[in-house]
Structure 1
Amino acid sequence: MEPPQETAYNPISSADAVIRYAGNFVPSWAGAIAIDLLPGILVFMLAVTQAAIRNGRDGLSIEETLTLADLKAAINAMKDVEASMGDADSEIIRRMRNDPPPSKDQNTTTE
């Protein structure tokens, strides 16, 4: 194989560059605009999809639209309510019996 010819780079003026590369402007410009608009198009598609999902849920009861995250939050809330109710019940029973409140020093025992 014969060696490739050496490439010589000759600087050109801005005006010559505009004239020489004018044919490449439109495809390059269109590509750049498409890349810039892509996130907006994706957000628009997501918004339309979400709106369609929400419209499909109209008329459904809460049980039919409950997500797993909602269910977990509800279960945790019920556990918190039950724990606080248990504390309140034990306080009411203690007051009804006129028992003294539990001492802060849990390490001492009465004989």
Structure 2
Amino acid sequence: MRAFRIQNDSLGNSYFEEGTLPEYFSIASERFVIETKIAAYQKYQHPAPRFQYVVTLKGKLRFTTSDEKQFILEPGIILVAKDIHGEGHSWEIIEGDEWQRIYIIPNQNADDAFVAT
């Protein structure tokens, strides 16, 4: 499955990689959260609150990392959010008026299984 991973460099700046998650990958998770509300900080830089997978069900968004590079997230693409330090990333809805998503919070120290392309 197509995926983007956001993480921190050695200085705490966020950057992203494009890649995939393997088919039949199982995530041992602590919890699972469904969210549709739009956070007030969407257009402002912020780190991920924890290592998490974000599965978009509805909405098309533009993410920007602290290096000013951008990517598009939409249904069918998984976000692996690991930029938990530094200024983080921002996002904005570019199509539609809401972002329906599922957060999967993996067990601490779990392998993210991301394969960069």
Higher strand proportion (structure 1 or 2): 2
Q: Look at both structures and tell me which one has the larger radius of gyration over its CA atoms.
A: 1
Fold conserved (TM > 0.5)? Answer: no
Q: TM-score, normalised by structure 1?
A: 0.12
Q: TM-score, normalised by structure 2?
A: 0.12
Q: Which structure carries more relative contact order (alpha carbon 8 Å, separation 6+)?
A: 2
Higher helix proportion (structure 1 or 2): 1
